Amino acid sequence: MNKFITVEEAVEKIHDGMTIMVGGFLGVGTPMSVIDALAAKGVKDLTLISNDTAYPNIGVGKLISNHQVKKLIVSHIGTNEDTINQMNAGELDVEFSPQGTLAERVRAGGAGLGGVLTPTGLGTVVEEGKQKVTVDGKEYLLEKPLKADVALIGANISDEDGNLIYKGTSQNFCPLMATAAETVIVEPQEMVKTGTLAHEHIKTPGIFVDYIIKK
């Protein structure tokens, strides 16, 4: 099966009101060409699930600056003043989730679990509106799973079947998000022939990848 599409074809698969996951950490591991094209397209009312919002006009920060995001599920926003200003002005609905909890919620979504139990956030604003569960006398928050319509992830290397290798912090959230979306689109920095990657180095098997951006 040929998974190759252009950036333009990838962006056409994303519509107003969709929930999208974007992998990476402060832009590292983010599929920049797809995000740039998405910003140019002007699709709006998105729910964005990401570790952070990078910086103004960098990576997903462009979607924030363009007011294309309606709701944000994130671990922190401190590096992006546009996100902070929109949240304080009531223009952007921000749901904070501790970084480890956010990762586990995405993992739960990909694994088909009903959620995860964690003590992180007890006694803080994080627990507001959430169910508490007691196990063996200890109290936990029930954190519900996260899924998306589309996951946009960046990889260092992809083969022609979409088997992916990430390097360094670029793999933050990307392998998890590749399991938790209906459609997964990857933008690799390097393409190689199928069969040339060492199996033990592959972090995302190609079965999870629907489309590969070929530049």
- Domain residue spans in the chain? 4-114+147-213
Other Cβ atoms closer than 10 A to 204: 25
25 pLDDT band, cuts 50/70/90, is confident
pLDDT in tens, 85-125: 999 999 999 999 999 999 999 999 999 999 999 999 999 98
Does the CA dihedral 187-189-195-197 come out positive or negative?
negative
For residue 159, give the nearest of 107, 209, 89, 106 by alpha carbon: 209
**Helices and strands in the chain: count of H runs, count of E runs:** 6, 12
For the stretch 62-76, pLDDT in tens is: 999 999 999 999 999
How many of the other CB atoms lie within 10 Å of CB of 112?
10
Distances (CA, A) of 46 to 75, 113, 197: 17, 24, 35
Measured CA to CA in angstroms, residue 199 lies from 45, 50, 110, 196, 202 at distances of: 39, 28, 21, 9, 6
Query: Residue 24: what pLDDT?
Result: 85
Homologous superfamily of the 4-114+147-213 domain (CATH): Glutaconate Coenzyme A-transferase (3.40.1080.10)
pTM of the model as a whole = 0.94
| Rounded distance between C-alpha atoms, residue 94 and residue 124, angstroms | 16
CA distance 67 to 50: 16
pLDDT grade for 126, boundaries at 50, 70 and 90: confident
